[in-house]
Amino acid sequence: MDRKSDDSSPHYDAGIQPTTTRDRVSLGAARDDILPKGSVDPVYQAKAELLNAAIQEIGMGKYQWHLFVVTGFGWLADNLWPIVTGLILAPVVQEFNAKGPFLKLAQNIGLLVGALGWGVGSDIWGRKISFNTTLAIVGIFATVAAASPSFTALSVFAALWSVGVGGNLPVDSAIFLEFLPGTHQYLLTILSIWWAFGQLLGSLVAWPIISNYSCETTATTCARRDNMGWRYFLIAMGGLMVVLWFIRFFVFRLYESPKYLMGRGRFAEAVDVVHAVAKYNGKSIALTTEELESAGVSGDHANTAKGIEEGPQELDTTARAALKRKFEQFNGDHVRSLFATRTMAISTSLVIAIWAIIGLAFPLYNAFVTYFLATRGADFGDGTAWNTFDHYGSHWSLLIR
């Protein structure tokens, strides 16, 4: 049957004439995946493409730029807190006479739990809850950690605040991408500037606080009253996280991800979010609930655009299905495609090797560089806390230039 002659087929306004032909072009242009046809639920993919087309039509606007800022807080926290434990390591070890690596171990356990828990959980209970919770967890437990009476207590609190830190990148990146038009998804890499700010901020704040309120590294004993710098520093950084959470929760209104809502069968809410974002940006859009509900159903224009003749009549909207769709991304076909040709295999192997080396070297350096400077400074007769942070702070202040 000639689809162009079917007046009952749904139409989608992409800014020109809302014809079926234009629908196919819009949907094709909006595709932002490289997955082979049939590798994911075709109904879900068709509906996702329709939402992509809607976001593309809205374009880059005020909502996305505000989102760039508040999601940037997550990048800032992600780099700040691994640096924090490195900055407080030397005075903490001196005060409690403890083994410093265990503090980093506790932190990394928390980061792992957070990355897995929040990343998977956001597909079950939604992006919005995760987004509005992670920084609050970090701020509360970091501030409470300042009162730690022992190294064990501090390590427990470090693990707890790291659960919040670990959820920032997987949740924030998903939210940011799902509201970005395809033409501006390169901005995800630009968010890395917040990551650099996190490290710079932590170093500059620690410089005067820990330097002036810590025991000398050559001291044989270190009482709590003489070593309050790391506690003040945790209060300052924890308080900052509370302020950033306040901005996220009370100042900026985050809409739930339309793709999450669609995946859970809440089509009307997904369409309402798209219209709300369009209104926020001073635009209007003609997407309807009926179009989203029918996308991907056998005979629908989205299926025709995808070359699908027959398909499921409805989308599985259960939490189990949401998790299945998430883990389908990691099947063997996707991995094998990265090694499909000799050039691709070399490129993929190099990228994996580079990330593995960075993943090993970067945390180790930032975890123990201040401890190394403090202890080696003492060996050379210049083990003052000020000297340690003078070297460390000067190094990271180069980021400003």
Per-residue pLDDT of the chain (401 residues; tens, 9 = 90+): 444 444 443 343 433 333 333 344 444 444 444 445 555 678 888 999 999 999 999 999 999 999 999 999 999 999 999 999 989 999 999 999 999 889 999 999 999 999 989 988 888 889 999 999 999 999 999 999 999 999 999 999 999 999 999 999 889 999 999 999 999 999 999 999 999 999 899 999 999 999 899 998 788 899 999 999 999 999 999 999 999 999 999 999 999 999 999 988 899 999 999 999 999 999 999 999 999 998 876 544 444 334 334 444 466 666 666 666 666 666 667 678 888 899 999 999 999 999 899 888 877 777 777 667 766 654 544 545 445 555 454 444 444 44
In the chain, the amino acid numbered 159 is A
Q: Which two tokens stand for residue 387?
A: 């000297």
The 8-class DSSP code of residue 250 comes to I
Q: What distance in Å separates the CA atoms of residue 239 and residue 236, rounded to the nearest whole number? A: 5
Count of positions (residues) in the chain = 401
State residue 154's pLDDT score: 98
- Cα angle value 21/25/30 (rounded, 5°): 145
Residue 377 backbone class (left: φ over 0; alpha: ψ -120 to 50; beta: rest): alpha
3-state secondary structure of 6: coil
Euclidean distance between the first and final Cα of the chain, in Å?
64
Are 121 and 169 within 8 A, CB to CB?
Answer: no
Helices (H) and strands (E) in the chain, counts: 19, 0
Are 6 and 274 within 8 A, CB to CB?
Answer: no
CATH architecture of 62-251+347-400: Up-down Bundle (1.20)
Judged on CB neighbours under 10 Å (0-12, 13-18, 19+), 238 is: buried
State residue 285's pLDDT score: 92
- Which residue stretches of 286-341 are H helix? 289-294, 301-306, 319-327, 332-337
Query: Which phi and psi angles does 308 have, rounded to 5°?
Result: -100, 125
Domain with CATH 1.20.1250.20 in the chain: 62-251+347-400
Are 50 and 12 within 8 A, CB to CB?
Answer: yes
Total-model pTM: 0.76
State residue 336's pLDDT score: 81
